[in-house]
Amino acid sequence: MHGQVSAASSGNGWRAGGAPKWSFADRLVAITRTDGFRGGAQKVAFEAAGATVIDLVDSPDESTVERQAAQIEDGHGKGLDALVVNGAPVDPQALVEMAEETWDGVIAEHVTGPFLLFKHVVPLMGEGTLGKVVVTAGPETWSGSDGLVHLTAARHAVFGLAKDLALETRARKINVNVSCPSTAVDDAGAEDHEAALAALTQSVMWLSSDASRFVTATSIRLQRPTAYAVKNRTSER
């Protein structure tokens, strides 16, 4: 057919859009939970793109976070380009059965921990840095979930926290966003675990780059329609 472009294909027939090439050479990125799926994949990706990665401990203990911040400043001054704060899954439990300690623990880990990192680590993003904060959360950021009242409250809260940080740091042009993958990202047995993890990693790269410099105080939903919705769609009944 005249003028028809070549039918280049890539592996599984995927054709729409090639993979972007990221470059974070000479950039400093601090990532929490690099021993987990999320942080581990991000560390690999950032290092492949040339960044220096600092492994951070996400802790609700202020002295622990202060010590880490001091270590970063000793080694790198105020040269931190990006902070990635990774969420983690929790076990479901009905509200009426939930112990206060369980609630407190989830809030401490998922909200107070990020708060302390924002307080002590974000000030290390000085002049000339990319100025990027990315929190990885989940679908509980925007919707309810059965048996996850503690996590849903925490995810909503950390989004609010991120929006406030974005407002407070606007003079320094620091972008603060939340990326929300599907639950498969933390479940190695899930069919789409690898795809979900890749999507999260790629969203973190984009949100940490200068390609998203006017994206701030927002959440990115890494979602596709559910299997139920696909099976029951009207258009193909």
Partner 1 sequence: MPVNDTTTYIPVENVAWDFEDQVVLVTGAAHGQGASHAQRFAEYGATMVVSDIAGEMEHVDYKLGSVVELEQTAESCRSFGNECISTVCDVRDADQVQSMVDQAIERFGRVDVLISNAGIATMSPIESMPLSMWQETMDTNLKGSFLLCRAVVPHMKEAGTGRIVITGSTQTVGSINDLANYTAAKHGVEGLAQSLSIELAGYDINVNVVCPTAVDTDINAIFGNEEWSAQAGALVGAWNLFQEEMIHEREITEAMMWLASRDGAQMSGSTIMVDAGCMAK
30: Cβ contacts below 8 Å, ≥ 6 apart: 53, 54, 56, 72, 80, 82, 83, 84, 121
- Residue 94 interacts with partner 1 (CB under 8 A): yes or no: no
Contacting partner 1 (CB under 8 A), which of 5, 94, 96, 99? 5
CA dist 133 and 30 (Å) reads: 10
Three-state SS for 135? strand
- The Cα 17–Cα 138 span in angstroms is 25
Which residues from 110-129 bind partner 1, rule CB under 8 A? none
Residue that is written with structure tokens 């993890």 in the block: 197
Closest residue by Cα to residue 110 from 92, 93, 86: 86
Answer for which of 74, 100, 225, 237 binds partner 1 (CB under 8 A) is 225
Per-residue binding string, partner 1, 156-175, x by CB under 8 A, is -------x--xx--x--x--
Site for partner 1 in 179-198 (CB under 8 A): 182, 195-196, 198
Q: Which residue has the tokens 């925007």?
A: 142
Can residue 153 be called a binding residue for partner 1 (CB under 8 A)? no
By CB under 8 A, name the one of 53, 65, 124, 222 that touches partner 1.
Answer: 222
**Can you tell me which residue has the tokens 């993003």?**
125
Binding of residue 44 to partner 1 (CB under 8 A)? no
Q: Which CB, 12 or 63, lies closer to partner 1?
A: 12
Which amino acid makes up residue 181?
P
Q: Does the footprint of partner 1 cover residue 221 (CB under 8 A)?
A: yes
Q: Looking at 31-39, 98-106, 145-153, 224-232, which segment touches partner 1 (CB under 8 A)?
A: 224-232
Distance CA 229, CA 222 (A): 16
Looking at beta carbons only, is 88 or 199 nearer to partner 1? 199
Per CB under 8 A, which region of 29-37, 39-47, 133-141, 222-230 contacts partner 1? 222-230
Contacting range for partner 1; rule: CB under 8 A; set: 20-28, 36-44, 86-94, 121-129: 20-28
Would you count residue 230 as binding partner 1 (CB under 8 A)?
yes
Q: What is the C-alpha to C-alpha distance for residues 27 and 54, in angstroms, rounded to an integer?
A: 11
Q: 196 near 139, Cβ under 8 Å?
A: no
- Other residues' Cβ atoms within 10 Å of the Cβ of residue 228: 8
Name the residues that contact partner 1, by CB under 8 A: 1-8, 13-24, 130, 163, 166-167, 170, 173, 182, 195-196, 198-199, 202-203, 205-206, 208-218, 220-225, 229-230, 233, 235
